């Protein structure tokens, strides 16, 4: 079956612009996660959605970052007024539920801020 | 101190060797534990879940020691294709997922 799909694969933009990253989770997966991975670093948790509940935004690094999930399925991560330190790979994962359910990752979006 | 700590390596081993990775976590409220592998410039892929009773999947064995807050992964009979970064993952609070920085493994012919 189809895995987690992310788009775009690569995004290059100028500092100060807004960007939107999209994640389409595995069908039937109620939990959705966003992570950031900077070059040579581990994954950094950003935000978590479970079904139609309010998301946990505790990992978002600043108020320039926001995310939404429409209809409990597709999610969009938005970064406003991008800075060079936002350059990273943004990874989305989904799982059947939370807790002890393994997460399945998309290929990620490689974001480069010039 | 990071919440999940791993030896960064790299571990350089010959084919056929047995290699062990360790991981420690600091939050005793941690509930679920996994090992993932990540190939260069690729997304993480689930390797196996980790249980207190220990679990085995072919050449891979994972173990959890809750008292010591320690997780291990053993790879027997290493293959060239095992070369990757191995990520220790801990979940607490139902969803808060903490990744270790990873241990790099190079298996050479």
Tens of pLDDT, residues B7-39: 889 999 999 999 999 999 999 888 899 999 999
Checking if the pLDDT of B64 tops 70, the result is yes
The confidence score (pLDDT) of residue B60 equals 98
Smallest CA–CA distance, residue B59 to chain A, in Å, is 20
List for chain B the helix, strand, coil content (%; round to 5): 5, 55, 40
Taking the C-alpha atoms of residue A88 and residue A108, their distance in angstroms, rounded to an integer, is 10
Give the distance from CA A1 to its chain's centroid: 21
Top-confidence residue, A87 or B51? A87
List the single residue in B32, B43, B87 with the smallest CB-CB distance to A99. B32
For A38-74, strand residue ranges (E) read 43-50, 65-69
Across B69-96, average pLDDT? 95
The confidence score (pLDDT) of residue A24 equals 96
**Contact criterion met (CB < 8 Å) for B94 and A98:** yes
Q: Tell whether A107 is within 8 A of chain B (Cβ).
A: yes
Contacts of B81 (CB under 8 A, 6+ apart): B107
Smallest Cα–Cα separation from A49: which of A29, A27, A34, A31?
Answer: A31
Q: Tell whether A58 is within 8 A of chain B (Cβ).
A: yes
């Amino acid at each position: 079956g189809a895995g987690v799909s992310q788009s775009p694969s690569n995004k290059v933009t100028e500092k100060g612009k807004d960007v939107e990253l999209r994640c389409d989770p595995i069908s039937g997966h109620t939990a959705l996660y966003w992570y950031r991975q900077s070059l040579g670093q581990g994954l950094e948790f950003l935000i978590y959605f479970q079904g139609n509940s309010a998301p946990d935004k505790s990992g978002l690094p600043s108020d320039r970052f926001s995310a939404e999930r429409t209809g409990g399925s597709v999610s969009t991560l938005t970064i406003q007024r991008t800075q060079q330190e936002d350059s990273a790979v943004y990874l989305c994962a989904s799982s059947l539920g939370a807790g002890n359910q393994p997460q399945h990752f998309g290929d990620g979006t490689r974001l480069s801020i010039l | 101190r990071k919440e999940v700590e791993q030896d960064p390596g790299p571990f350089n081993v010959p084919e056929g060797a047995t290699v062990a990775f360790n991981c420690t976590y600091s939050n005793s409220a941690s509930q679920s534990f996994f090992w993932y592998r990540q190939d260069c410039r690729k997304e993480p892929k689930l390797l196996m879940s980790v249980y207190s009773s220990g679990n085995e999947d072919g050449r891979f064995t994972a173990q959890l020691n809750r008292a010591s807050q320690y997780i291990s992964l053993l790879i027997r009979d290493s293959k060239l294709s095992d070369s990757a970064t191995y990520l220790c993952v801990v979940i607490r609070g139902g969803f808060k997922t903490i990744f270790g920085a990873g241990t790099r493994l190079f298996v050479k012919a």
